[in-house]
Structure 1
Amino acid sequence: MAKYVMWGNYCENVEEKRAPYRQAHLDGLKAQKEAGTLLTIGPTKDLKQVFALYDAPDEKTVRELVENDPYWQNGIWTEYQVKEWIQAF
């Protein structure tokens, strides 16, 4: 499978706005991690952006995972990009 990088942006006041969706978000990420699709994910220290690495069959799969996440569906992530990534080492 190919590897993909996802960069996204958070909304303003993310800590407050994400609270109602946080557990569902984390549960979904745990399932993706256990399935081996999500390699890692996390926010930048300033809580402005999110970064993730996926091991997926195609970009469409990654976009479906992102767009089915409660953070995307509720405006916590405001935009994102997916790029296929070549792991050199």
Structure 2
Amino acid sequence: MAKYIMWGSYCENVLEKRAPYRQAHLDGLTKQKAEGVLITLGPTKDTTQVFGIYEAEDEATVRQLVENDPYWKNSIWTEYTVKEWIQAF
């Protein structure tokens, strides 16, 4: 399977706005991790961007995961890009 990186942006006042959706978001990520599709995901220290690494059949699978996340559905993540990634080391 191919690996993909996801870069995204957070909304303004993310720490306050994410609160109602945080547990559902974390539960979904835990499930993706257990299924082996999510390698890692997290915010930048300044909480302006999110970075993730996925292992999936195709880019469409990653996009579906992102767009079904409560953070995307509730505009906590405001934009994102997905690129196939070649792990050199």
TM exceeding 0.5? yes
Q: Which ranges in structure 2 are unaligned for 5 or more consecutive residues?
A: none
Q: Does 1:9 align with 2:9?
A: yes
Q: Does 1:45 align with 2:38?
A: no
Per the TM alignment, residue 9 of structure 1 is displaced from its structure 2 partner at its CA by: 0.0
RMSD between superposed Cα atoms in Å: 0.2
Distance 1:17 1:43 in 2: 15
Aligned to 2:29: 29
Per the TM alignment, residue 32 of structure 1 is displaced from its structure 2 partner at its CA by: 0.1
TM-score under structure 1 length normalisation: 1.00
Distance 1:30 1:61 in 2: 17
One-letter amino acid of the counterpart of residue 38, structure 1? L
Distance 1:2 1:57 in 2: 6
Aligned to 1:76: 76
SS at match of 1:27: helix
Per the TM alignment, residue 35 of structure 1 is displaced from its structure 2 partner at its CA by: 0.2
Q: Provide the identity percentage.
A: 76
Aligned to 1:59: 59
After TM superposition, where is structure 1 displaced by more than 6 Å over at least 4 residues in a row? none
One-letter amino acid of the counterpart of residue 37, structure 1? V
Distance 2:25 2:56 in 1: 19
